[in-house]
Amino acid sequence: MTLLDGLFGSDALATAFSDHARVQCMLDFEAALARAEARVGVIPEAAAQAIAAHCLAENINFAELAQAAGEAGNLAIPLVKQLTALVKRDSPEAARYIHWGATSQDAIDTGLMLQAREGLKSIAAGTDQLCELLAELADRHRATPMVARTWMQHAIPTVFGFKVAGWLDAMHRHRRRLQALTKGGLALQFGGAAGTLAALGDRGLAVSKALAEELQLPLPDLPWHTHRDRVLEIGGTLAMLTGSLGKIALDVALHSQTEVGELAEPAKPGRGGSSTMPHKRNPVHASVILAAAERMPGLVATMLGAMPQEQERGLGNWLAEWETLPEIFRLNHGALERTVIVIKGLEVHTGRMLANLELTRGLVFAEAAAMALAPHVGKGEAHTILEEASESAARGQQHLSTVLVADSRVTAHLSAQEIQRIFDPHACTGEAERFIDRVLETHRTRSN
Amino acid sequence: MTLLDGLFGSDALATAFSDHARVQCMLDFEAALARAEARVGVIPEAAAQAIAAHCLAENINFAELAQAAGEAGNLAIPLVKQLTALVKRDSPEAARYIHWGATSQDAIDTGLMLQAREGLKSIAAGTDQLCELLAELADRHRATPMVARTWMQHAIPTVFGFKVAGWLDAMHRHRRRLQALTKGGLALQFGGAAGTLAALGDRGLAVSKALAEELQLPLPDLPWHTHRDRVLEIGGTLAMLTGSLGKIALDVALHSQTEVGELAEPAKPGRGGSSTMPHKRNPVHASVILAAAERMPGLVATMLGAMPQEQERGLGNWLAEWETLPEIFRLNHGALERTVIVIKGLEVHTGRMLANLELTRGLVFAEAAAMALAPHVGKGEAHTILEEASESAARGQQHLSTVLVADSRVTAHLSAQEIQRIFDPHACTGEAERFIDRVLETHRTRSN
Amino acid sequence: MTLLDGLFGSDALATAFSDHARVQCMLDFEAALARAEARVGVIPEAAAQAIAAHCLAENINFAELAQAAGEAGNLAIPLVKQLTALVKRDSPEAARYIHWGATSQDAIDTGLMLQAREGLKSIAAGTDQLCELLAELADRHRATPMVARTWMQHAIPTVFGFKVAGWLDAMHRHRRRLQALTKGGLALQFGGAAGTLAALGDRGLAVSKALAEELQLPLPDLPWHTHRDRVLEIGGTLAMLTGSLGKIALDVALHSQTEVGELAEPAKPGRGGSSTMPHKRNPVHASVILAAAERMPGLVATMLGAMPQEQERGLGNWLAEWETLPEIFRLNHGALERTVIVIKGLEVHTGRMLANLELTRGLVFAEAAAMALAPHVGKGEAHTILEEASESAARGQQHLSTVLVADSRVTAHLSAQEIQRIFDPHACTGEAERFIDRVLETHRTRSN
Amino acid sequence: MTLLDGLFGSDALATAFSDHARVQCMLDFEAALARAEARVGVIPEAAAQAIAAHCLAENINFAELAQAAGEAGNLAIPLVKQLTALVKRDSPEAARYIHWGATSQDAIDTGLMLQAREGLKSIAAGTDQLCELLAELADRHRATPMVARTWMQHAIPTVFGFKVAGWLDAMHRHRRRLQALTKGGLALQFGGAAGTLAALGDRGLAVSKALAEELQLPLPDLPWHTHRDRVLEIGGTLAMLTGSLGKIALDVALHSQTEVGELAEPAKPGRGGSSTMPHKRNPVHASVILAAAERMPGLVATMLGAMPQEQERGLGNWLAEWETLPEIFRLNHGALERTVIVIKGLEVHTGRMLANLELTRGLVFAEAAAMALAPHVGKGEAHTILEEASESAARGQQHLSTVLVADSRVTAHLSAQEIQRIFDPHACTGEAERFIDRVLETHRTRSN
């Protein structure tokens, strides 16, 4: 664990994308390959057992591995060497069959797919948990008035639950993408030196099928060494998810500003505080989530830029993926975990929401007032009256209702009480609740 | 058309993503909105007809629009103003109902979705055409021997059709992604000032449904103004496709090198030539395709970075998309069209492929030789013999077959004729043909 | 001019980076080359005159050029063809000497350098103007109290001039970088087919020197066709400048929020308003500036990714620069022009700044209070007292001064009047003014 | 050290940018701050000594630090807490003065600057070493003929030393940039809670000056918490350098292809080999260097995207730098070290270079032939003759010299011997040597 793992990482993903897991997943490939080849009759059963028995990351000397990788150009070559030495001690015959017919990239890419499968599980679970929390939050605040802001300026009234339903709606799409990815986005990599499995003669495909079964990974139509779209799809999907988490975090941070005060991250001793500034509640989680979202574009760009790989094995481009995709997983899951914490304990200051609605002295109700007047004077005239009234209220620092009550064009049709009712924030949120219901309905359908 | 459109763009996409199309698609939104609102009874039928009648980009003063957008901050505000002025001349009453209940972003985002739908059609068609060409090419060269190269070094024999099948296999995945995108990735944007459709009272959802029908766009669970994952998914899908096109182009360029000479882009007067250097056949198409692939990462990064958008309307981040997504479409389709041209007319120099296989004096057959020997001496011993023989051949600049024929460990088991057969490039391509068949089978299934 | 040029572009740069300018600058290279070669005696003086006389973009058929570039792979080949045809009509002999000894990239890269020189002039001038405005604004508000915000939370008092001085300080560094770039960052590109100027025999260097003089561009040690760091340095410098403009814009937008209300972009009919929401003052300029800043990372990434170019001429990577660097210039200058407008007309609401300082009921003065108390009770004890008092004020929703006045540990040392003075925002801004002075001093030194 | 540090990292930078160094540099800030404050009389001299005595990374519990940073949002807060606890044990009084008047960002940014200073030293030294090696290589091969390739196609003859001089020329510019950066690009960060040093009353600037002296870092005009261009300039400079290293690596890899065979990375047991494919010499170093170059664009994009930071302290954007800049240093230095190894031991196969020049049967000498003929028949006619002869040679698979010897338009002016001399690769490399001399002259001037 590095110093900043506590800040940016997550325990679950630290496990799936640790150096240990990286090595273990490559060893899982080697063990499964030996078993598959024994099943098909390419290598002796005893050799497969001997090989599989040694495929434990605990047996590997990591420092030596790191050193040797620097010369070999990848981890698989020195890993196979270490494994061979281990097996040789017990069974020199079996040692000859290690990695039989495979190439380094087979072990590395398949290992990556196994890590990704674990990582995606954690991320899917986190997303599900987040959806539950958001659904509950949206429902709870389906009638909590607040002001909607566009260009960071007050616009018109809305409800807090509508904002949350928007967050949830995005998560629904990400959940669907994660499901599609888990179902169709992973694949075995097994092609030997140049993809043709030539070293296995006419039994390459049979071994491939057995190997795919062993590892429970889909067998692709053909090996995909230099075709990296699968890897990109994983990274891109997680990056998009992180972007949406960043949007939630940005909203939380904006609504937590001292002047706004509508939301606050859950308080906890030692988090985001300042001993001399007790009024401060720094949005630490939001900042970390935003940092993850800031870093995704560059990481995905690296992977996209590495797509055109040379012939049957890439040069630097393939290597450029090795630390980049794990970083995407790490940052994404760290951000996801923090979003769950934020939403779970989010402080919602409904009083401040109501108070802020009044900051512009009724101007955010101008649209609602025009609508109330329209049936009486026509839409165009209603619009004109409100324009003038709003302008006059703003100039005179009066409440818009005060101006309307004094305007005979309005009072000819609406009583003072009717005018006051216009400024009820509960009365002018349009389809907000029905939109919330639509999203919650989707949530329920998905969850079952 | 700018000077470099001829190089990087494509006619089809130039149409779908021209300034004219951008404006027309926003006007299509305005016309459909008026019709939908008339259907639901929100505005008079006559007004809808009057509005729709003027919704033609030809009526718009583009220079004025560009100028006014600079102050308004987007195109929709001044466009609605121009449209209003146009309608007003004929029907002042109707003019009041233009853009009724909508916000600028509704027109801009829905307009974008309409453009994207057209763009995706062209790209899907281009991808289909490319798949056909690749399938035919893979099949034709299923038994054309060439050397496979890893790290840009000769590795072992393969067939050209296997390489092409790899290109095709990637395209199959992209085609599936494009289909999923066309089916589920587009959506109506319609939410009014802050997403709640408040200005339409309790008829917002009804208008939404009618509008979605008018435009044949899916109705989302709720408006998605500041949730940009849909837009990202479009851009990311095209970028991945371009990355795979870049891989094809890179292969073509590498195989077209003077020293390699195995492939060449189709010749055409004025293309890629040099009057004083007639031996040159510059891979112009490949270069343009690679340029598109080089630019995708940055463009997608821009869009990913713009995902966290503020509250109910973004600031600069939303604006950052406006030229970026169209650029992705333009470059992607330009690259796709050129790839179709390259594959359609690709010169395949099978003689050079064969000759290059011999460059290392048989060393690329070492693996095959070991396999031939293994049944007689065991896999381990076969491997040892070949290591020594290869080393000796390399040192002595002899052909590997010459060395083997002189090695009693080999001749004890294999006749001179049997040794020669090892060096038949047709005999050692493993599962290449079966892999090709798998990909072609998928192609046929997909195409029907 | 495209539709969105009014939003993102600028008139000055539109001129320097128009298609017309691109062609003219390449023609300037061709004319200067002919003159230089005539001076050195490589081509006849008459030919040089005939060639130079036709080097006007007005003579060029742009549509044809665009079309032909699509086949040739660059603009220079078809441009030289058109130029040759033009010259040939008057002087068939002279036509033979066009582009003598040069390669396409010589014309394209040198043309780019000429465009960049013009562009950098505009940007340097804009930066100078911005520095003047910022210096004046910082000086004017050297004693205007406002609250400083960290993590978007109120921290401690500061003055507005300090914030502006920070903006200016960054601009000073950018101005220095622009100067260094203008002085040492540009260079002639002239190397012929492969950099050796072989076609000019032993007079290549002499022609180079004459050509560098003609164009007033530095002569590099050797041609730099595939060494793109110079081009990167230009793009990177502008991107960093844009990043700093984005920081200013973000501050303006944050301080313009309805709840904050401390700053506003200059008002203008038609800009950023909304007829039904007169309270809204959308930060349109800030948004456009932020959009430019959002797009820079992707554009610079494209150029950086294109640096490793093949051998003596790049493939797609070189092409990837052609639209990217101009876009960087365009967005940078557009952002710069808007920042000048914003700062020139910036509304500074000093009343709201003062009022916001009071929002936390004195808590932002806690640090100042501890300092006042420390000489009497020691720093540690002072700190403890203020922690408790702040906590108590926050809990009881009391003003911190009220709590302090009631605390005998405080009143034992400070009178009520002395306590009140602590809460004078002018009294606790530390070195703010001296820092402002340092920046203004640098400004004055630089300007002279 | 992670598993892949052996591949991508370097020992020197692993030290400068280890977690240990990160913590030590922050502690160096704290120690220097205490000393500076004691010098100015802000804190007692004894306290400063007590504090400084504990500022050793060895005293810090890293696991606890990482954990706490996750809540605090940065490393400085929990680090100061640990330091305080340590000092308190010996001297409770001194513990009160730790971090006096400073903010977390002061420690973090100044710590980063101290790390950067160390890192830049290693990188400057590596660049110097590389320049020496390149200068020697360029000089040694100033007359080694090879073919120049544009668009990866044979163009005209050149010398290998010219290519190397091009690499060196780029390094000269990077060296100059590194020097400028070391001289003017670093700066102390010290501003307290909001940049005004308010907690230090009127002695903030005095402490700043003393602190700058203690750390030997330039004192900026004012603190630059949310102005990140300095940090960007460091990252951008290293990224550009890496891009140029990537260009060298790409050239090495292209020239090492089996078919080309002109260069090879230095051989070493265990590096880039394959037991069954002894003909393979995988360009492992080049691949790692290229991987670094592939990753730079994304990393720099992240930092550029993080430039617009909020008000007086950024949110996620600042955090996004924390792992990104160290990664830039790590990858850059790893690439630099490997480039030094490659150039130091580069195998140059001059025989293959000569042989490849002949691959096109003299066509790469067409330009030279035209030049030889021009004095006799005029430039235009010479050009026409060579066009026809080249075309004829290519069509008939004859050597160009054979065609020329049979062309009476040529033999009328040139003897067979004179014609043969044209095809001497030493005779037609233009100004290559003089360009090499110019670069070597700059090298000598710089080195002294």
Q: What are the pLDDT digits (tens) for D261-281?
A: 999 999 876 655 565 566 678
Structure token pair of residue D274: 């394959």
Q: How buried is A306 (Cβ within 10 angstroms: 0-12 exposed, 13-18 middle, 19+ buried)?
A: buried
Is the Cβ–Cβ distance between D46 and D152 less than 8 Å? no
Three-class DSSP category at B154: strand
Angle between helices C104-140 and C160-184 (to 10 degrees): 160
Q: How buried is A208 (Cβ within 10 angstroms: 0-12 exposed, 13-18 middle, 19+ buried)?
A: buried
Q: Is the pTM of this model over 0.95?
A: yes
Cβ contacts of residue B195 below 8 Å, gap of 6+?
A148, A158, A162, A166, A432, A435, B222, B223, B225, B312
Q: Is the pLDDT of residue C338 over 80?
A: yes
- Beta-bridge partners for C147: C157
Q: Which of D71-75, D110-114, D131-135 has the lowest mean pLDDT?
A: D71-75
Give the whole-angstrom CA distance, residue A150 versus residue A159: 15
Give the whole-angstrom CA distance, residue D119 versus residue C124: 32
Distances, alpha carbon A375 to alpha carbons B28, B99, B199, B204, C10, in Å: 28, 19, 13, 17, 46
Band (D387; pLDDT cuts 50, 70, 90): confident
Q: In the predicted model, what is the mean pLDDT of residues D147-173? A: 97
Q: Is the pLDDT of residue D220 over 70?
A: yes
Q: In the predicted model, what is the mean pLDDT of residues D319-328? A: 97
Active-site residue list of A: 274, 313
Average pLDDT, chain A: 94
Three-class DSSP category at C158: strand
Is the Cβ–Cβ distance between B433 and B143 less than 8 Å? yes
Condensed to tens digits (0 to 9), the pLDDT of residues A160-186 reads: 999 999 999 999 999 999 999 999 999
Q: Shortest CB distance from C316 goes to which of B193, B291, B320?
A: B291
Calculate the CA dihedral of residues D205, D207, D210, D211 and round it to 10 degrees.
-110
Three-class DSSP category at B147: strand
Chains B and C: how many Cβ contacts under 8 Å? 189
Check if D274 is active-site.
yes
User: Residues, chain C, total?
Assistant: 448
Q: Is the pLDDT of residue C221 over 90?
A: yes
Condensed to tens digits (0 to 9), the pLDDT of residues C3-49 reads: 999 999 987 777 788 999 999 999 999 999 999 999 999 999 999 99
Q: In the predicted model, what is the mean pLDDT of residues B230-250? A: 98
The per-residue pLDDT for B218 is: 98
Q: Shortest CB distance from D380 goes to which of C96, C149, C205?
A: C96
Band (A379; pLDDT cuts 50, 70, 90): confident
Residue of D nearest to B150 (CA): D282
Average pLDDT, chain C: 94
Rounded to 5 degrees, φ, ψ at D436 are: -55, -45
Chains C and D: how many Cβ contacts under 8 Å? 315
Among B100, B70, B69, which Cα is nearest to B82's?
B69
Chain D CB contacts of C367 under 8 Å are: 193, 198-199
Is the Cβ–Cβ distance between D57 and D28 less than 8 Å? no
Top CATH class, D103-187+224-354: mainly alpha
Q: In the predicted model, what is the mean pLDDT of residues C82-89? A: 96
Band (D292; pLDDT cuts 50, 70, 90): very high
Q: Is the pLDDT of residue A296 over 60?
A: yes
Distances, alpha carbon B281 to alpha carbons B268, B290, D31, D153, in Å: 10, 17, 66, 7
Structure token pair of residue C61: 């058929």
DSSP structure string for A249-280 = HHHHHHHTSTTT-SEEPPP-TTSS--TT-TT-
Angle between helices C432-447 and C160-184 (to 10 degrees): 30
Is the Cβ–Cβ distance between D326 and D363 less than 8 Å? no
Determine, for residues B229 and A429 on separate chains, whether the beta-carbon distance falls below 8 Å: no
Give the whole-angstrom CA distance, residue C153 versus residue C145: 16
Determine, for residues A222 and B436 on separate chains, whether the beta-carbon distance falls below 8 Å: yes
Q: In the predicted model, what is the mean pLDDT of residues A237-263? A: 98
Q: Which of the 8 DSSP states describes residue B149?
A: E
Q: Shortest CB distance from C193 goes to which of D73, D155, D172?
A: D155
Distances, alpha carbon C398 to alpha carbons A354, C384, D320, in Å: 22, 19, 38
Q: In the predicted model, what is the mean pLDDT of residues D404-411? A: 95
Q: Is the pLDDT of residue D316 over 70?
A: yes
> Chain C: nearest CA to D156, how far in angstroms?
7
Band (D185; pLDDT cuts 50, 70, 90): very high
Q: In the predicted model, what is the mean pLDDT of residues C119-135? A: 97
Q: In the predicted model, what is the mean pLDDT of residues B91-111? A: 95
Condensed to tens digits (0 to 9), the pLDDT of residues B17-69 reads: 899 999 999 999 999 999 999 999 999 999 999 999 999 999 999 999 999 99
State whether CATH 3.40.50.720 applies to domain D363-422: no
Task: Classify residue C398 as left (phi > 0), alpha (psi -120 to 50) or beta.
Answer: beta
Q: Is the pLDDT of residue C179 over 80?
A: yes
Give the whole-angstrom CA distance, residue A323 versus residue A303: 10
Q: Is the pLDDT of residue B273 over 80?
A: no
Condensed to tens digits (0 to 9), the pLDDT of residues C263-286 reads: 999 987 665 556 556 667 899 999
Give the whole-angstrom CA distance, residue A382 versus residue A366: 10
Give the whole-angstrom CA distance, residue B106 versus residue B122: 25
Determine, for residues A319 and D287 on separate chains, whether the beta-carbon distance falls below 8 Å: yes
The per-residue pLDDT for D10 is: 84
Q: ipTM value, please give it.
A: 0.96
Determine, for residues D205 and C169 on separate chains, whether the beta-carbon distance falls below 8 Å: no
Angle between helices A324-345 and A284-305 (to 10 degrees): 150
Distances, alpha carbon D50 to alpha carbons D47, D80, D108, D208, in Å: 5, 14, 22, 21
> Hey, where are the domains in chain C?
1-102, 103-187+224-354, 363-422
Give ∠ CA C55-C57-C61 in degrees, rounded to 5: 115
The per-residue pLDDT for B278 is: 64
Condensed to tens digits (0 to 9), the pLDDT of residues C135-175 reads: 999 999 999 999 999 999 999 999 999 999 999 999 999 99
Average pLDDT, chain B: 94
DSSP structure string for D334-400 = HHHHHHHHHHHH-EE-HHHHHHHHTTTTTGGGHHHHHHHHHHHH-HHHHHHHHHHHHHHHHHHT--H
The per-residue pLDDT for B54 is: 98
Band (D58; pLDDT cuts 50, 70, 90): very high
The per-residue pLDDT for D448 is: 63
Is the Cβ–Cβ distance between D197 and D209 less than 8 Å? no
Cβ contacts of residue B77 below 8 Å, gap of 6+?
B68, B69, B104
Give the whole-angstrom CA distance, residue C242 versus residue C190: 31
Give the whole-angstrom CA distance, residue A54 versus residue A42: 20
The per-residue pLDDT for C230 is: 98
Q: In the predicted model, what is the mean pLDDT of residues A191-202? A: 94
Is the Cβ–Cβ distance between C334 and C290 less than 8 Å? no
Band (B114; pLDDT cuts 50, 70, 90): very high
Determine, for residues C254 and A152 on separate chains, whether the beta-carbon distance falls below 8 Å: yes
Determine, for residues C298 and B305 on separate chains, whether the beta-carbon distance falls below 8 Å: yes
Q: Which percentage of chain A shows pLDDT scores above 90?
A: 86
Chain A CB contacts of C279 under 8 Å are: 153-154, 360, 363-364, 390, 394
Determine, for residues C198 and D429 on separate chains, whether the beta-carbon distance falls below 8 Å: yes
Top CATH class, A1-102: mainly alpha
Residue D331 or D10, more confident: D331
Q: In the predicted model, what is the mean pLDDT of residues A293-309? A: 98
Q: Is the pLDDT of residue D313 over 90?
A: yes
Q: Is the pLDDT of residue D375 over 60?
A: yes
Rounded to 5 degrees, φ, ψ at C38 are: -70, -40
Q: In the predicted model, what is the mean pLDDT of residues D289-305? A: 98
Residue D15 or B112, more confident: B112
Condensed to tens digits (0 to 9), the pLDDT of residues B289-327 reads: 999 999 999 999 999 999 999 999 999 999 999 999 999
Is the Cβ–Cβ distance between D124 and D182 less than 8 Å? yes
Q: Which percentage of chain D shows pLDDT scores above 90?
A: 86
The per-residue pLDDT for B387 is: 87
- Mutation to test the A interface, candidates B141, B208, B221, most A Cβ within 10 Å: B221
Chain B CB contacts of D386 under 8 Å are: 276
Active-site residue list of C: 274, 313
Q: Is the pLDDT of residue A430 over 60?
A: yes
Condensed to tens digits (0 to 9), the pLDDT of residues A354-363 reads: 999 999 999 9
